[in-house]
A and B are shown apart, each in its own frame.
Chain A
């Protein structure tokens, strides 16, 4: 019986490829010793509780990150405070230079300065206005040529409207040396009579020919 059975087993064994048996029958003897390592199957809640270490790591890591972030943040803020400080100092500086240049601008754009410069450049005004009406080409008013002697912008007496701020401001026609000389003269005059002769001194300062000589006509762009 047993030989029969063995033959019966052996016969198909020879006939069929061994590979078929590898999966089912052959591992069976290997399972026998493993049965000694029994384990309790964890319940669902146990399984859930298992990655505790991971959680701990995450929370400690987060905590650490927060601490580091806060540290960096406060370093950043105090760095910012210094930056703010230096920028504010820079802003103050810029405001000061803005003030200085706008004071200068206001001073040189005062009518006294403009008139004195116009005078120095030999400009005259025309006190007899005339208009050309475009609709019919009529001339309104009486056109008269500007009178050089009577028409100077400030007259023969120079600037008579004092401006203490203009002391030492040179005319466009003055060179650096002349301006310095005029300023010195103005300062001397001021010291001498404490009157407000500073601007008058500047106005009557020696003048030279305009730096840009007039070529007979106003410069105009050439277009084609």
Chain B
């Protein structure tokens, strides 16, 4: 009986013990496999998984021929772990530093100093920057050195292979910020970085099939400009020569296609080399033909003449007696730039001699509001619509704010301000049969998938009739055929229409500065206008009149005609009489 009872008890205990063990193991199993499964799984993956970014490249900026003006490169940064470098002994570190310094160009001593400095601050230092912004060649050499304590990181950077050519237009992209088209067209250019993860084994090799692209990288688009890189260089080079020859403070050159409004070159002095922005003054970083308005001066007279002809209020032979100085009778007191005896001029002669008094008397025939409306249609005081940051619209005050002096001054380009771009746009209208097409600088943004966006939608405006535009060009031709600067302006074989300007600039205190903003703007060839060229020099000192800008206009215009194989004129000049 007793033995039987004992047996039963033992069995019960064993069964209970087994059941308890099973329960515990089961609970643990459920805990690991179900409750904490996700967490553990994650930990395991984390231990093996590496995430690496997929870099989305920033797009290139190319000129009309596809020449790269801005591109993305990779630069390399070398860093060292000083505590590991010193671990093998100081002699070895100095020897290594000499080799590194020879490649980076810093010299061995500088590298030793960096390492020592870091060790002094913290003997266990694991990081000191040796050199950033290295190119591939230097990186390759460093990478071959047998120092495991030397590490590298790769970074995207911008390179401008053509240096300062169109530098101010392109702008730059640095850690400090963005400027120019790099800023305004960022939406087109910027790429989007992606990410991929993979698991790697103990030897660092990816475990096959474990690579997962978490997010695809997206490259930026290619921004195609209307510019011609070679012509742009030529403009900048010759502009720089002329600026230095005339002792000017600054200078601009713009070349635009007459029939499309495409800007082929836009040069500025002082230049900006986006590879080395520190070399130029921050006030010169922006492209002033876009951002800074000037009182245009006499180049404006061509617009007034075109309005008069368009309204039938004057013809190329309309006569006016132009004295040196003239009072309107209601408060305005005007005079010409240099003293002269009263001249018997036609409207053509007024343009040729650039007579303010003559233009004022003839211009009176148009109501102020009509002139204001015309100016607006010419684009004066209107936004250009070009994708460049910080553009100025110039200043064209409403008619009610015009005092008597301003009423007349606006006829010859004072009391109103415009950027060089706006003036080129207005002349483009004269060159294009009176139809103004908004200027364009960007041809489009081509995305990696082949789609093209950002195509400028230039809405043409008929400003004056084709006849009025043609007649105005004919009148402007007299400046080249028989004006004061004919020798500098003529290009054999071509009919050229040009207008000079010598504009005083406000000193900001209600008066005018003693030096001038001189310009020559012109169109060629007159019988089939193809190109508009505008040349401005700011405050020249050796020659203070538009004679300073004329040789540059000639150089640039002949280069333009040569570059684009423009056929020489076959017709003879309009030859309107300047005097009566």
Nearest CB of chain A from residue B86's CB, rounded to whole Å: 30
Known contacts being A103-B73, A111-B162, A165-B163, is A160 close to B244, with CB within 8 Å? yes
Instruction: Note all chain B residues with C-beta closer than 8 A to A195.
Output: 279
Which of these, A78, A80, A162, contacts B276 with CB under 8 Å?
A162
Chain B neighbourhood of A25, CB < 8 A: none
A-contact 0/1 string along B478-498, CB 8 Å cutoff: 000000000000011110000
Interface string of B113-145 (1 = CB under 8 A from A): 000000000000000000000011101100000
Residues A161 and B240 in contact, CB atoms below 8 Å apart: yes
Q: Does B271 contact A (CB under 8 A)?
A: yes
Contact A110 B162 (CB under 8 A): yes
Q: Which of A107, A155, A196 lies in contact with B237, CB distance below 8 A?
A: A155
Partner of A85 from the list B74, B206, B275, B492 (CB cut-off 8 Å) is B206
The CA of A99 and the CA of B157, in the complex, are separated in Å by: 12
Question: Contact: A96 with B136, CB < 8 Å?
Answer: yes
Give per-residue flags for B135-173: 1 if the beta carbon is below 8 A from chain A beta carbons, else 0.
111011000000000000000000111111100000000
- The listed residue (B160, B165, B568) touching A131 by CB distance below 8 A is B568
Q: Is B208 an interface residue (CB 8 A)?
A: yes
Please state if B492 and A128 are interface contacts (CB–CB under 8 Å): yes
List which A123-176 residues lie within 8 A (CB) of chain B.
Answer: 127-131, 140-142, 144, 154-155, 157, 159-166
Closest to A99 in B: B136
Residue A182 is within 8 A (CB to CB) of chain B in the complex: no
Is A77 part of the contact surface with B, judged by Cβ < 8 Å? Answer: yes
Tell me the chain B residues, 245-280 only, with Cβ under 8 Å from chain A: 271, 273, 275-276, 278-280
How many Å lie between the Cα of A194 and that of B279 in the bound state? Answer: 7
The verdict on B562 contacting chain A, using a C-beta distance below 8 Å, is yes
Most buried by A among B162, B275, B558: B162
Distance, CA A164 to CA B162, complexed state (A)? 9
Taking a contact as CB atoms under 8 Å apart, the answer to whether A77 and B230 are in contact is: no
Residues of B within 8 A of A30 (CB): none
Contact-size category for A: 35 or more
**Interface size of B in residues (CB-CB distance below 8 Å):** 53
Min CB distance B127 to A, Å, is 24
Task: Report whether A161 and B68 are in contact in the complex, using a CB–CB cutoff of 8 Å.
Answer: no
A161-B236, A199-B163 are contacts. A100–B137 as well, Cβ < 8 Å? yes
Beyond A82-B205, A96-B136, A129-B493, whether A140 also contacts B568 by CB under 8 A is yes
What residue of chain A has the Cβ atom nearest to residue B558's Cβ? A127
**B163 in contact with A103 (CB, 8 Å):** no
User: Of A97, A157, A159, which one neighbours B136 at CB under 8 angstroms?
Assistant: A97
Given contacts A131-B567, A142-B492, contact A164 B273 (CB under 8 A): yes
Contact present for A81 and B276 (CB under 8 Å)? no
Q: How far is the CB of A48 from chain B (nearest CB, A)?
A: 45
A205 to B74, CA, bound (A): 31
Residues of B within 8 A of A85 (CB): 205-206
Given contacts A78-B208, A100-B137, A142-B492, contact A162 B163 (CB under 8 A): yes
**A85-B206, A110-B161, A194-B279 known; 7 other A-B pairs, CB under 8 Å?**
A103-B73, A106-B68, A140-B567, A154-B237, A163-B275, A165-B275, A196-B276
25 contacts between A and B (CB under 8 A): A78-B208, A80-B208, A81-B208, A85-B205, A99-B73, A100-B135, A107-B161, A109-B67, A110-B165, A111-B229, A111-B233, A115-B233, A129-B562, A131-B568, A140-B570, A141-B492, A142-B493, A154-B237, A155-B241, A161-B163, A163-B163, A164-B276, A164-B279, A195-B279, A199-B163
Question: 6 nearest interchain CB pairs?
Answer: A163-B163, A142-B492, A141-B493, A106-B161, A160-B240, A111-B233
Residues of B within 8 A of A (CB): 67-68, 71, 73-74, 135-137, 139-140, 159-165, 205-209, 229-230, 233-234, 236-238, 240-241, 244, 271, 273, 275-276, 278-280, 491-494, 554-555, 558-559, 561-562, 565, 567-568, 570
